[in-house]
A and B are shown apart, each in its own frame.
Chain A
Amino acid sequence: MNQTDIANYIGNLFPEAIISRGPQFPTIEIPPEKLITLCRKLRDDEQLAFDYLFCLSGVDMPDHMTVVYHLESTWNGHCAVVKTHTTDRKNPVIDSVNDIWPTAGFHEREAFDLLGIRFNNHPDLRRLFLDDSWGFPLRKDYTDPARIVER
């Protein structure tokens, strides 16, 4: 399916999703409470068949925390990006997609470690790289006077 087909197909199934066309991939923005339903559909629907999650990134935007999922269908060869965000920057919580794509487990641990995003129903949500006493270094408000030199 090309970008327009994917956009129309998902737009019909999930009217609450905001779908935009990008230079590379179509982007589907979905409220966090609908994320799991959407992801299950994306993987299990025969026409979509997004079985390969190739990247999961957390991004700290000025007023919200975003999680970006890059998906590819190894069967159909098309790609898409799913985005979800939470405005609670203090204690951001998003549902885990570990059950749907097991590769997400490690990526979610990384996002938790570096950005402090908690993932519901994650089987093993521990910090990955850093010590428990660290803050969340990829957050924009992170300060570390000893190690960061302001220019």
Chain B
Amino acid sequence: MTTTTLDFDTIKTQEYLVNMGPQHPSTHGVLRLVLKLEGEIVHNVDPVVGYIHSGIEKMCESLAYHQIPHLTDRMDYLSAHMNNEAVALCVENALQIEVPDRVKVIRTIMAELQRLASHQLWWCVMGMDMGALTTFFYGLRDRELILDIFEETCGARLTLNYSTPGGVMFDIHPNFQKRVKDFIKYFRAKLPEYNQLLSGNVIFRERTIGIGHLSQKDAIAWGVTGPSGRASGFACDVRKHHPYSAYDRVNFNEILRTEGDTYARYQARVDEMSESLDIIGQLIDNIPEGDHQVKMKGIIKLPEGEFYQRVETARGELGVFIVSDGKKNPYRVKFRSPGFSNLAALNHMSKGVKIADLVAIMSTLDLVIPDIDR
């Protein structure tokens, strides 16, 4: 593991260093934070990552292009579909392949379902981090319905492996449209419950409003993207500003807030769920006829050069940077994962807060550790 130089020399008499993690429930995985504390006040947070570094970028260098998406599932497993889509889009753009409209629409619907599922899990875990166990049951109850749709579509519930270069793995199931429409109807009615249960709760509001402030300027400078960045007023929605798949043909609002505190980050995500329902609602009745795949060669070779693709995952901006030397394997692959940059800003956001508030701040950053460690 990474050897951390503990700065005992600079530490003052009252201060002490405490390890939070790697097996701490609120780090949602194996992440260690070295906290410099004075009483309960946090003076410095030093994230120590790498406990589940799996060398995905290195592995990609010896894999063919249609094998790479299968690894990206395992990075941000709650945004598995968007991760697959990012690689698929990058390869398609490099080869200048235009996928059928049907593929674009299916991908967009699946991505929004995935975003909903991810935000639902985030919401229930957020409540749990703050000591409210009920939210966990509400969130998982609804998320299960999305996972059932995924299972019927592609056989997998978590690591979907659905998008591949050239299209999607299978055509949608005959029940797909009906089930998704049923889900939208069901979840539209359930979403107000989320606000009633947590958003208006006095204890929750007291613990989140005005805590962990991040200004717009800092959000941009630290590269904090996704709902966390948008809560600070950083208009960073890739779906809006660099549209891909079918996002250029749907109407939706980019949820922007100005407060930049923990509550704003919370509310941005809850509001985003409603936008995702809108996007799915606009597309679900208009899935064009056609093929679900373009015929691709058995061995894909990208032209020599550098290719970059950005997509919006549930956590923020995911970038795939492929350097190709014209062979069947990429020369270098870099994933710019949203959690990685968001985590880097944690120290900046949590100076001077209490330990319990640090838990809330971390929760609103919605960290997924394999996404950071890769």
Contacts and interface: CB of A to CB of B under 8 A. Distances in A.
A54 B336 contact: yes
B1 interface: yes
Interface string B222-234: 1101000000001
Interface string A8-43: 000000000000001111000000000000000000
B58 interface: yes
A131 interface: yes
Nearest to A133: B3
Contacts of A129: 2, 49-50, 53, 373
B4 interface: yes
Interface in B43-94: 49-50, 53, 55, 57-58, 62
B223 A53 contact: yes
A122 interface: no
B343 A106 contact: yes
Interface residues of A, number: 35
Nearest to A111: B334
Nearest to B323: A59
A131 B51 CA distance: 10
Contacts of B50: 128-130
B319 interface: yes
B319 A137 contact: no
Interface of A: 22-25, 51-55, 57, 59-60, 68, 70, 74, 77, 81, 101-103, 105-107, 110, 114, 126-132, 137-138, 151
Interface of B: 1-5, 49-50, 53, 55, 57-58, 62, 220-223, 225, 234-236, 241, 305-308, 310, 317, 319, 321, 323, 331-332, 334, 336, 340-341, 343-345, 348, 373
